[in-house]
Amino acid sequence: MKRITVGATITPEYHKWPSKRINDNIPRPREECVRSIEEHLRVVPSELEIIKQDFEKKVRSWEKR
């Protein structure tokens, strides 16, 4: 006697459904909040660095005189 083993019947629509659901729960950025990678990675100078840069500019201007 021959027996046939039949697996679970999955429709093509059901087979596509899990692959679509994987990325559905990942939050997407809103259009007004989208910034470039450069803006995200930009280093904000500290107050001391800003003062130092200003001082260096003044020193250069004094040297030109």
Q: How far is CA 21 from CA 13, 18, 30, in A?
A: 12, 5, 20
Q: Where are the domains of the chain?
A: 34-65
Q: Which pLDDT belongs to residue 56?
A: 96
Q: Which pLDDT belongs to residue 7?
A: 60
Question: What confidence category does residue 17 fall into, taking pLDDT thresholds of 50, 70 and 90?
Answer: low
For residue 59, is pLDDT > 90?
yes
Mean pLDDT of the chain: 76
Q: What is Dmax (Cα atoms) for the chain?
A: 107
- Using one digit for the tens of pLDDT, what is the confidence trace for 24-53? 666 666 766 677 778 878 888 899 999 999
pTM (predicted TM-score):
0.37
